[in-house]
Structure 1
Amino acid sequence: MLRLVFAVILLVLSGVAARALDCKTASDQTSLNQCSDKDFKVADAALNAVYGQVVGRLANAAASDAKGLLTTAQRDWLAFRDAECAFRASDSEGGSMHPMVALGCKTQLTQDRTAALKRYLSCKAEDGDCPTAAAD
């Protein structure tokens, strides 16, 4: 919960600075890097919100260890995302476009993870792989 509050505060603060930056017309590398950072922060805030909803569903889960398993999976996924993006962006290391490349990767993978977590909010027990299904 604290992480979500922190993410929202960062999002609000970055929004103030981003108003002066038009990411649709940004063309210099510094602006492109700033826009990539903004995109990642939005994606990360969305991920944290959906993750919180899934955790909330697990309060009533039949499997008592489901919340711990999700926490482990999420922690491992974050490590994977960061390592994968470091690898993908390794060719640009030291260059001015490196932040844009690394953040673009993190944004995409974060959006993918958010979509995967959202599926847990609409799955049904009969799906067979739905630890968040409401008990009938």
Structure 2
Amino acid sequence: MKKALLSALLLAASFAAHADEKLLSKQYGACMERPDVTTAGMHECIAAETARQDKTLNTIYKRLQQAISPARKPRLLDAQRAWLKFRDANCDFQADPDGGTLAGVNASACVMQMTADRAKELADLAVEAGAR
């Protein structure tokens, strides 16, 4: 039983630590690769990185708002609200009540990764809008 739990925790740590390293901070990687990281520690690492990614997302969102025409701003707001709703529902689904502690780690990592992905997507759109 302990061997199975250890294997599951290592798998979760591997997934969360290497989700998409290009978009995640070095602090996150270092946090997740600590030899003494526990499930609670993984949640702390993920929460800290999610906060960093959320701050980045908000900064980029504001930059994109400034780069687009006034006519497009309401559509951006609608898209962002729909994306937030989707992210939250999608990641909440991953918090399988029968999945044990791993499901919580996966759900938290989902929010973190989707936030990083969205920040990258909006950054690309801001660059494109600025090039016009």
Shorter-normalised TM range: 0.5 to 0.7
Does structure 1 conserve the Cα–Cα contact (< 8 Å) formed by 2:95 and 2:106? yes
Of Structure 1 and Structure 2, the greater helix share is in 2
Q: Could you say what the CA RMSD is over the residues aligned between the two structures, in angstroms?
A: 2.4
Shift of 1:96: 3.4
The share of aligned pairs that are identical, in percent, is: 27
Change (3 A) 1:92 1:29: farther
Residues 1:77 and 2:83 aligned together: yes
TM-score, with normalisation over the residues of structure 2? 0.67
* TM-score with structure 1 setting the length: 0.65
Query: Which structure 1 segments of 5+ residues have no match?
Result: 1-17, 124-131
**How many angstroms apart in 2 are the aligned matches of 1:92 and 1:55?**
41
Pair 1:101 & 2:106 matched: yes
- Gaps (5+ residues) in structure 2? 1-26
Indicate the residue corresponding to 1:65 in structure 2: 71
Q: What letter corresponds to residue 87 of structure 2 in structure 1?
A: R
Q: How many residues align?
A: 103
Equivalence for 2:20: none
Q: CA deviation at 1:99?
A: 3.7
- Provide runs of 4+ in structure 1 moved above 6 Å: none
Query: CA 1:120–1:82 in structure 2 vs 1: closer, same or farther (change >3 Å)?
Result: same
Contact kept in structure 2, 1:47 and 1:113, CA below 8 Å? yes
